[in-house]
Amino acid sequence: MTLEPKALAELGARMAQGTPQSVALGLRLVSVEPGDAAMVVPYRADLVGDPATGVLAGGVLTTLLDHVCGLAVASAAPALTSTATLDLRIDYMRAAEPGKDITARARCYRLTRAIGFVRASAFENDEDNPVATAQAAFVLGGAMPRGAGA
Amino acid sequence: MSLPNSERLAELLATIPYARFLGMTAELAGEQMTAILPFSPHLVGNIMLPALHGGVLGAFMEMTALTQLSLREPQRRRPRTIDIAIDYLRPGRALTTYARADVRKVGRRIANVQVEAWQETRASPVAALRGHFMLSAPDSPLFGEGE
């Protein structure tokens, strides 16, 4: 059983525009299918981590990856549910290219009644040449709801 | 190098656009830095609770690790993150969040750092981070610290 297309679209819109932090970062929804989601963070000078290079701060990717992983888990669930991050591991393969928007795509590869396991990567254009990859576990509708992805 | 640490710290954070985006500040007591993230509505990830975005907590702890390393290794260029692992322990509520970094190892090129973030009491952390960070090699590898 998966979410209806209408519920999926609602969920995607809510994740992009429904939290103050996603609005502050300007996150945009690229796509959402059951267990598979992608979002973009547009490049902005005020999100830079090292002014000498103009590279986006790692924290921006952390938030983008957490957010899109949460969406992938929520979209895999059989009904609309809240999710909270249990843990999130990120490997930084290389610096993001200055001036470029970053896309993150996440796939929830296993969902139990309580936990969603998800992998994601962040890249400029090519998913096979990632800036960073992530691995996370989320708890579904648990006792510590932090909101989808947050 | 001649600046007192507290001034170097303020200068360091002021030059990082993303630290300003978060609204992060820090205080020093001797060598020990406490990073401070005052609550701000734009940091919220869940409006129902409300709760800080998990990504923001992770980002704040990563910045804490990077800043503590820069303070400790002033002769090197800004450290770069290799990997981080974040554990979420409690929802971050609409309160000021604090973080401290424990630099467990600084080698010639790589540092291992643990960070814990808390709100009301340090005994109830909201999140923890462990990370590896790449340091630029000291001026001469022959006279640098051993790995």
Residue pLDDT, tens place only, A6-63 = 889 888 888 888 899 999 999 999 999 999 999 999 999 999 999 999 999 999 999 9
φ and ψ at residue A33, rounded to 5 degrees:
-125, 165
Pairing relationship of beta strands A55-56 and A48-50 according to DSSP bridges = antiparallel
Structure confidence by residue, pLDDT tens digits, A77-122? 988 888 999 999 999 999 999 999 999 999 999 999 999 999 999 9
Does pLDDT of A127 surpass 60?
Answer: yes
Cα gap B133→B112, rounded to integer Å: 7
Burial class (CB in 10 A: 0-12, 13-18, 19+), B99: buried
The residues with which A118 forms a beta bridge, in sequence order, are: A108, A136
Model ipTM value? 0.92
Angle between helices B54-72 and B5-14 (to 10 degrees): 140
B117 and B78 in contact (C-beta within 8 Å)?
no
Nearest CA in chain B to A133: B83
What pLDDT score does A74 carry? 94
Q: Which residues have C-beta within 8 Å of that of residue B102, sequence separation ≥ 6?
A: B113, B114, B115, B116
- Taken in order B5, B131, B83, B60, the sign of the CA dihedral is negative
Does pLDDT of B6 surpass 90?
Answer: no
Does pLDDT of A150 surpass 70?
Answer: no
Cβ of residue A80 closer than 8 Å to a chain B Cβ: no
The DSSP code for B16 is: -
Mutate to test the interface with B, among A55, A62, A68, A83 (most CBs of B within 10 A): A62
Count H helices and E strands in chain A, helices first: 3, 8
Structure confidence by residue, pLDDT tens digits, B35-82? 999 999 999 998 888 999 999 999 999 999 999 999 888 878 789 999
Q: Which residues have C-beta within 8 Å of that of residue B123, sequence separation ≥ 6?
A: none
* Chain A residues 102-141 with a CB less than 8 Å from chain B: none
Of B16, B22, B51, the CB nearest to A150: B51
pLDDT band at residue B3 using 50, 70 and 90 as cut-offs: low
Q: Which residues have C-beta within 8 Å of that of residue A12, sequence separation ≥ 6?
A: A29, A31, A32, A37, A71, A75
% residues pLDDT > 90 (chain A):
77
